Amino acid sequence: MNQSAVSTARPEGTWTERFRLEGKEFESTLHLTPEGRAFILAGPAPGGGGAGTWAATGEGRFSYRIAERLVDENGAYLGWVDIDHHAVLTGDTFTSSGVSTVRDTGDRVTASVQVEAEARRTSPANP
Protein backbone atom coordinates (compact mmCIF):
# COMPACT_ATOMS: atom_id res chain seq x y z
CA MET A 1 0.00 0.00 0.00
CA ASN A 2 1.43 3.42 -0.87
CA GLN A 3 1.98 6.12 1.78
CA SER A 4 -0.80 8.42 0.51
CA ALA A 5 -3.38 5.64 0.85
CA VAL A 6 -2.24 4.99 4.41
CA SER A 7 -2.27 8.67 5.41
CA THR A 8 -5.79 9.31 4.08
CA ALA A 9 -7.31 6.27 5.84
CA ARG A 10 -6.98 8.02 9.22
CA PRO A 11 -7.71 11.60 10.30
CA GLU A 12 -4.12 12.74 10.76
CA GLY A 13 -3.29 15.91 8.85
CA THR A 14 -4.47 19.48 8.39
CA TRP A 15 -8.14 20.21 7.77
CA THR A 16 -10.25 23.18 6.73
CA GLU A 17 -13.45 22.98 8.75
CA ARG A 18 -16.66 24.91 8.08
CA PHE A 19 -19.44 25.21 10.63
CA ARG A 20 -22.57 27.28 11.25
CA LEU A 21 -23.27 29.09 14.47
CA GLU A 22 -26.09 31.54 15.16
CA GLY A 23 -26.95 31.67 11.45
CA LYS A 24 -23.43 32.53 10.31
CA GLU A 25 -20.82 30.32 8.64
CA PHE A 26 -17.32 30.14 10.09
CA GLU A 27 -14.08 28.47 9.06
CA SER A 28 -11.23 27.08 11.11
CA THR A 29 -8.04 25.15 10.46
CA LEU A 30 -7.50 21.98 12.48
CA HIS A 31 -4.42 19.79 12.70
CA LEU A 32 -4.56 16.21 14.00
CA THR A 33 -1.27 14.44 14.78
CA PRO A 34 -0.55 10.70 14.55
CA GLU A 35 0.06 10.74 18.33
CA GLY A 36 -3.55 11.78 19.06
CA ARG A 37 -3.13 15.51 19.57
CA ALA A 38 -5.58 18.03 18.09
CA PHE A 39 -4.92 21.72 17.43
CA ILE A 40 -6.91 24.68 16.18
CA LEU A 41 -4.36 26.58 14.10
CA ALA A 42 -6.77 29.35 13.05
CA GLY A 43 -10.39 30.08 13.74
CA PRO A 44 -13.02 32.77 13.97
CA ALA A 45 -12.12 33.85 17.52
CA PRO A 46 -9.69 36.81 17.65
CA GLY A 47 -6.28 35.53 18.69
CA GLY A 48 -7.84 32.11 18.98
CA GLY A 49 -6.17 28.79 18.84
CA GLY A 50 -6.48 25.71 20.92
CA ALA A 51 -5.20 22.29 21.80
CA GLY A 52 -6.62 18.95 22.83
CA THR A 53 -6.76 15.33 21.77
CA TRP A 54 -8.43 13.04 19.25
CA ALA A 55 -9.06 9.27 19.35
CA ALA A 56 -10.40 6.63 16.99
CA THR A 57 -13.84 5.41 18.11
CA GLY A 58 -14.49 2.79 15.43
CA GLU A 59 -14.05 2.12 11.72
CA GLY A 60 -14.05 5.51 10.01
CA ARG A 61 -15.01 7.28 13.23
CA PHE A 62 -13.15 9.46 15.72
CA SER A 63 -13.78 12.04 18.39
CA TYR A 64 -11.88 15.16 19.32
CA ARG A 65 -11.91 17.49 22.28
CA ILE A 66 -10.20 20.86 22.11
CA ALA A 67 -9.94 23.79 24.52
CA GLU A 68 -9.97 27.01 22.46
CA ARG A 69 -8.90 30.23 24.16
CA LEU A 70 -10.95 33.39 23.72
CA VAL A 71 -9.26 36.79 23.75
CA ASP A 72 -10.41 40.26 22.73
CA GLU A 73 -8.86 42.35 19.95
CA ASN A 74 -6.25 43.63 22.46
CA GLY A 75 -5.26 40.13 23.55
CA ALA A 76 -7.02 40.20 26.95
CA TYR A 77 -8.22 36.78 28.07
CA LEU A 78 -12.03 36.41 27.94
CA GLY A 79 -12.40 32.69 28.64
CA TRP A 80 -12.39 29.51 26.61
CA VAL A 81 -14.53 27.12 24.60
CA ASP A 82 -14.70 23.38 25.34
CA ILE A 83 -15.25 21.73 21.92
CA ASP A 84 -16.38 18.09 22.13
CA HIS A 85 -17.13 16.47 18.75
CA HIS A 86 -17.71 13.06 17.22
CA ALA A 87 -16.77 12.64 13.55
CA VAL A 88 -17.30 10.31 10.61
CA LEU A 89 -14.37 10.11 8.19
CA THR A 90 -14.83 9.42 4.48
CA GLY A 91 -11.54 9.65 2.57
CA ASP A 92 -10.36 13.25 2.73
CA THR A 93 -13.55 14.66 4.30
CA PHE A 94 -15.30 14.32 7.61
CA THR A 95 -18.52 15.49 9.18
CA SER A 96 -18.77 16.08 12.89
CA SER A 97 -21.25 17.15 15.51
CA GLY A 98 -21.04 17.96 19.16
CA VAL A 99 -21.37 20.57 21.82
CA SER A 100 -19.29 23.71 22.27
CA THR A 101 -19.44 25.08 25.81
CA VAL A 102 -18.26 28.65 26.38
CA ARG A 103 -16.70 29.45 29.78
CA ASP A 104 -15.75 32.86 31.14
CA THR A 105 -12.58 33.88 33.02
CA GLY A 106 -14.01 32.37 36.22
CA ASP A 107 -14.65 29.07 34.39
CA ARG A 108 -18.43 29.59 34.58
CA VAL A 109 -20.56 28.32 31.68
CA THR A 110 -21.99 31.24 29.68
CA ALA A 111 -23.31 29.30 26.67
CA SER A 112 -23.61 25.76 25.35
CA VAL A 113 -24.51 25.14 21.72
CA GLN A 114 -24.84 22.18 19.36
CA VAL A 115 -22.49 22.55 16.38
CA GLU A 116 -22.30 20.56 13.14
CA ALA A 117 -19.26 20.81 10.90
CA GLU A 118 -17.83 19.61 7.60
CA ALA A 119 -14.12 19.44 6.91
CA ARG A 120 -11.77 18.61 4.08
CA ARG A 121 -8.16 17.56 4.39
CA THR A 122 -5.76 20.15 2.99
CA SER A 123 -2.61 18.14 3.70
CA PRO A 124 -1.81 14.73 5.19
CA ALA A 125 0.29 14.34 8.32
CA ASN A 126 4.02 14.19 7.75
CA PRO A 127 5.27 10.60 7.59
pLDDT grade for 49, boundaries at 50, 70 and 90: confident
SS3 assignment, position 80: strand
Long-range contacts: 32-40, Cβ < 8 Å, 24+?
Answer: 32/64, 32/125, 33/125, 34/10, 34/125, 38/64, 38/65, 38/66, 39/66, 40/66, 40/68
Amino acid occupying residue 120: R
CA gap 13, 124 in Å, rounded: 4
pLDDT in tens, 51-97: 999 999 999 999 999 999 999 888 899 999 999 999 999 999 999 99
pTM > 0.75 = yes
Looking at residue 72, what is its pLDDT? Answer: 87
- CA distances 110 to 46, 75, 78, 81, Å, are 18, 20, 11, 10
Architecture of domain 3-124 in this structure: Beta Barrel (2.40)
